[in-house]
Amino acid sequence: MPVALVTGAASRLGRVLAKHLAKSGYMVVVHVNRSRDAGRKLAKEIADGGHQAVMMSCDFARTSGVAGFFEKVVRRHGLPQLIVNNASVFQYDYPGKGSIELLEASLAVHVKAPFILTELAYRKSRRGSAVTVVNILDQKLKNLNPDYFSYTVGKFGLLAMTEMWQLTPASRIRVFGILPGLLFPSGKQTQRDFERVRNNTILGRNPSPEEVAQAILLLARTKSIPGQNLVIDGGESLVRRVRDIAYE
């Protein structure tokens, strides 16, 4: 059975991805940081549905533990054929009121941890056991605004790393980026405000988390697709915004 590692899998998009991949035949490693109870509950829910999942924890903000975490995953469950770098730090700051603490956390979680996981996966992969890496980015990288300053800087770092892997010929690893639009309420956005703006896109709809999961599964299973970036946002990135959608 193929193994998938989904980071930041306890809630929101990560939870949907873990459940979808488990139902599609993967043994899912549910990575969490502090949300251990939620991670255990998710793994049990997947197992109760007749599929396979385990919860494993690591604080990616302390990157000294990331290599050991991955070695433990490989030792216990084998090399993941699919790694989804979904873990994120999403807290508010703004140019002129930027937070060095938020920036350090963003760079650790969005750049350093995926950097380590991808490097180790490549070194352990072989021709007959290629690895697919999918990095969850953000459509705002195509349509910049200054809100969530440190978060965005970190995601840009992850985008740069993704694209440099895509420029590196390798049959043992493929690296993809997915840039989703609005999937859940953003920041302080209320559910009412979320419903009001969620379909304010060129296509008149934003993606669902399930559509993102389906896209990841397609990329993982279709071995002839080379690494590339996929925007799944209903056209939101084509509509200029000067602020994050939570503030419109």
Looking at the structure of the chain, the number of domains it has is 1
- Residue 189, pLDDT above cutoff 80: no
Least confident of 11-15, 114-118, 200-204, 243-247: 243-247
Cα separation, 65 vs 113, in Å, equals: 9
Q: pLDDT tens digit string along 44-78?
A: 999 999 999 999 999 999 999 999 999 999 999 99
Instruction: Round to whole Å and give the CA distance between 29 and 26.
Output: 9
Residue 248: its pLDDT value, please?
66
The upper half-sphere exposure of residue 211, i.e. CA atoms within 13 Å in the direction of its Cβ, equals 15
What pLDDT is attached to residue 188? 74
Structure confidence by residue, pLDDT tens digits, 102-130: 999 999 999 999 999 999 999 999 877 89
User: Which class for 130: exposed (0-12), middle (13-18), buried (19 or more C-beta within 10 A)?
Assistant: middle
Residue the block writes with tokens 């969850």: 136
> Could you read off the pLDDT of 138-182 as tens digits, one per residue?
999 999 999 999 999 999 999 999 999 999 988 999 999 999 998
Task: Give the span between the Cα atoms of 42 and 21, in whole angstroms.
Answer: 13
- Domain span holding position 209: 3-247
How far from chain centre, in Å, is Cα 172? 21
Quote the tokens at residue 92. Answer: 């508010």
Report the CATH number that the domain containing residue 204 is assigned in CATH. Answer: 3.40.50.720
pTM more than 0.85:
yes
